[in-house]
Amino acid sequence: MVDGFFDAIRSHVGDAPVECNGHLRQRQIVRAGLAQGEMPSAWFRCLEMARANRKSAILVLAQPSVDSWTLTGSLGLQDGRVEAFSYEAYWGASSGRLHYGDCTSPSVRLELTGPFGVHCRNERDNVGRVSMVERSPMIADRDLLRRLPELTDRSAVDCGRHVFVSFDPALEARALRASLECAVDAKRRGNAFRVIDQYPTMASWTATGLVGDQKGAIRRFRYETTASCAGPFCPATFEIEACRSPTVVENESAPSTYACAIAVPLPTPMFITIASSASNTRK
Domain ranges for the chain = 2-130, 142-267
Most trustworthy range by pLDDT among 81-90, 134-143, 147-156, 251-260: 81-90
Each residue's pLDDT tens digit, 42-85: 999 999 999 999 999 999 999 887 778 889 999 999 889 999 99
Do 85 and 59 form a contact (C-beta atoms < 8 A)? Answer: no
Is 96 exposed, middle or buried (CB count within 10 Å of its CB: 0-12, 13-18, 19+)?
Answer: buried
H helices of the chain, in order, are: 2-13, 39-52, 142-147, 169-188, 274-282
pTM of this prediction? 0.56
Beta bridge partners of residue 117, listed in sequence order: none
Each residue's pLDDT tens digit, 148-161: 877 877 788 989 87
The residue-averaged pLDDT of 269-273 equals 44
Measured at the alpha carbon of residue 18, what is the angle toward residues 17 and 24, in degrees to the nearest 5?
A: 85
- pLDDT, residue 269, reads 56
